Every structure is written in structure tokens, then in C-alpha cells.
């Protein structure tokens, strides 16, 4: 039995989490869920967006499923990443039949450094405006690049692309680029290349099938993964994993979407795919493939899907259809 921390969070996070747990009930595995609070509503009630109790629950679990956070996202998910040292953010970008993808057969993964860069939040006002500090270290660059190469080997991907802006940010991104190629020396069987981040943004649109694994710094990875979502039908189809040496947290890339929260129309795909990534993390690869296949069949059929996918099903109706496929696999 796996001990799983569950943080539904805010807005549609609660709805897609309910849908995903409904699907996971059909699994051959047993899960012991411990529910915890975090997000805007928690802050309103307690004055703190991420209570210590929640942090302790996650630390004691084998994995965590996280729904979404609203305005308090920086105080919740960013803090969780930092406190648990979840240094690798993995965001698969994959096109599925039946979705509004711009290209077929897109299948690449963005590996984003999760602990430093501009997202450390060191900002201050000045007489003229404001300044922000950007931290890039050799240690963090080395472990995220090594993670990317190891991920490529494990998933049988052939190319790792380092993304930076070392022609302008010569010291910070210069360290990242230098470290990337130093790590690459240990992986002679993996094709290696690097692009500037602005060029990468163009290449994702003009030649997305070129990419296998992209490794980059915090802010660049955040932006490029949202661009990737646009290639394959939107944020409702992009899962993510936050991985450290001891913990794993899995969440959809989309936010709390307050404009549709409570209407029961949110697309649960990204949350279900995040559960697929959790199963992979737990070493349950066969179960992960069955769950992904069940979702893929529902998307391809296009009959019981939510409005953003061209259907009229509710969140739970689509989840029930995925569960039925999952049970029958």
C-alpha cells in the first residue's frame, strides 16, 4: 500500500482531484490517502497558505498529488518545492488524437531546474523601480543536467537540448551552459546540443518533432512548457512532476481557473496524467501505461470529453469514462 498525500487546493484543483481519485479507485494498487490543506482558502481560514501540518504530511508520504493553488501559489507550490528540495520539474509535452493539437506525434519533455533562478523571489523596490536577483549555481546546474541525461537514458530518448541565453547573460547562463557540456561528457551515447532560449521558442513552433529532452533554468522552463502546451491543445493536457532525492509531487500545469471553478466542466486530463507520472515514480510502470491508455482512448473517441476538448461532458462524466476504460484494460 502506498502512502499518498493529497492536496486538492483551490478552484478546479478540487474538481480534477476528485475526478482523478475516482479513476484511481479502479487501479489494482492500494493507496492510503492523507488529505491536507493549502492554498487561498486555507490562508483565509488560518492566515497561512501552507500550514506546517501539511508540509509534515507530505514529508511522511511516498508521493503527493496536488491540485491547484490560486493567488497563493508562490507561497504553496514554490515553498513545497524549496522545502522538500524538489529540484527537477518534469513537464511532458505530448500530442493525443482527438485533441486540438497543432502537430501530430509531438512527444518531448522539458526538464526545468526548480530551486533557483529568478524564482528565488529576491526582489526589492528602488528609487527608479525595482531589482531582482537571479541565482545560478554550478551545483544546481549539474544536478538538473545530470537528471535530464539520466531521464533520457531511462526513457530511451536520444537527444538532450540545453537551453540558455549565455550570449547575453554571460556569467549566470554561462555557468549553466558550461556545466551542461561538462555533464554531457559522461553520456557519449546521447546526442547533445544547445540553443538560445529565444531560438528555442521559435523551434518549438517550427520543428517540435526535433526535441526529445529539453533541460533549462527555472524561468525559461516555465515559459517554454506553457508554449509547449499550446502545441498540443492547451494547459488542460499538460501534467508535471516535481522530483527530489526523497520526495515526488505531481500536479497539473494549469492553475485554479476561478472563472470555471464550481461548474464541473474542468478538463481532468492533466491531473490524470500527473497521476500517471506518480505511478511511474513509484515504479508501477505497467499500471501507468494502462491508465494513460485509458485516457488516450477517451480522448481519441471524443464522445465523453469536456467542452474544451469539443464535447459536453462534465468533469466527473469524463473521469467515469476513463475509469471504465481503465477497469477494462
Active site residues: 119, 165, 198, 222, 226
- 3-class DSSP state for residue 72? coil
Note whether 20 and 272 are within 8 A (CB). yes
Q: DSSP labels for 145-163?
A: HHHHHHHHHHTT--EEEEE
Torsion of Cα atoms, 88 then 198 then 69 then 26, to 10°: -60
- 3-class DSSP state for residue 98? coil
Q: What are phi and psi of 133, to 5 degrees?
A: -100, 135
Give the sheet arrangement for strand 2-9, strand by strand: 31-35, 2-9, 63-68, 248-252, 239-243, 88-94, 107-113, 213-216, 159-164, 191-196
DSSP code for 235: G
The dihedral sign for the CA sequence 195, 156, 106, 291? negative
Identify the H or E element spanning 285: helix 285-301
The dihedral sign for the CA sequence 277, 296, 7, 62? negative
Q: What are phi and psi of 61, to 5 degrees?
A: -95, 165
Beta bridge partners of 117: 135
Note whether 150 and 139 are within 8 A (CB). no
Amino acid at each position: 500500500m502506498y502512502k499518498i498525500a493529497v492536496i486538492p487546493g483551490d478552484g478546479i484543483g478540487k474538481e480534477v482531484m476528485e475526478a482523478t481519485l475516482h479513476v484511481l479507485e479502479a487501479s489494482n494498487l492500494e493507496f492510503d490517502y492523507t488529505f491536507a490543506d493549502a492554498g487561498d482558502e486555507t490562508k483565509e481560514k488560518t492566515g497561512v497558505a501552507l500550514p506546517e501540518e501539511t508540509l509534515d504530511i507530505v514529508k511522511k508520504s511516498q508521493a503527493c498529488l496536488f491540485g491547484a493553488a490560486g493567488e497563493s501559489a508562490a507561497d504553496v507550490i514554490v515553498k513545497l518545492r524549496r522545502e522538500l528540495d524538489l529540484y527537477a520539474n518534469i513537464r511532458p509535452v505530448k500530442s493525443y488524437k482527438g485533441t486540438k493539437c497543432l502537430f501530430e506525434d509531438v512527444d518531448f519533455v522539458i526538464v526545468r531546474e526548480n530551486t533557483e533562478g529568478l524564482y528565488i523571489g529576491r526582489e526589492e523596490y528602488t528609487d527608479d523601480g525595482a531589482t531582482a536577483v537571479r541565482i545560478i549555481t554550478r551545483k544546481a546546474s549539474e544536478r538538473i543536467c545530470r537528471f535530464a541525461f539520466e531521464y533520457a537514458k531511462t526513457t530511451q530518448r536520444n537527444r538532450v537540448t540545453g537551453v540558455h541565453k549565455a550570449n547575453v547573460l554571460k556569467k549566470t547562463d554561462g555557468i549553466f551552459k558550461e556545466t551542461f557540456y561538462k555533464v554531457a561528457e559522461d553520456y557519449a551515447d546521447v546526442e547533445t546540443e544547445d540553443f538560445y532560449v529565444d531560438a528555442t521558442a521559435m523551434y518549438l513552433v517550427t520543428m517540435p518533432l526535433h526535441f526529445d529532452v529539453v533541460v533549462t533554468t527555472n524561468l525559461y522552463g516555465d515559459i517554454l512548457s506553457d508554449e509547449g502546451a499550446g502545441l498540443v491543445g492547451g494547459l488542460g493536457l499538460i501534467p508535471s512532476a516535481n522530483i527530489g532525492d526523497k520526495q515526488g509531487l505531481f500536479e497539473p500545469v494549469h492553475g485554479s481557473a476561478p472563472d470555471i471553478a464550481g461548474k464541473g466542466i474542468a478538463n481532468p486530463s492533466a491531473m490524470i496524467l500527473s497521476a500517471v507520472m506518480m505511478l511511474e515514480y513509484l515504479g508501477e510502470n505497467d499500471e501507468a501505461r494502462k491508465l494513460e491508455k485509458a485516457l488516450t482512448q477517451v480522448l481519441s473517441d471524443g464522445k465523453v470529453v469536456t467542452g474544451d476538448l469539443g464535447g459536453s461532458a462534465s468533469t466527473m462524466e469524463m473521469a467515469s469514462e476513463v475509469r471504465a476504460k481503465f477497469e477494462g484494460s
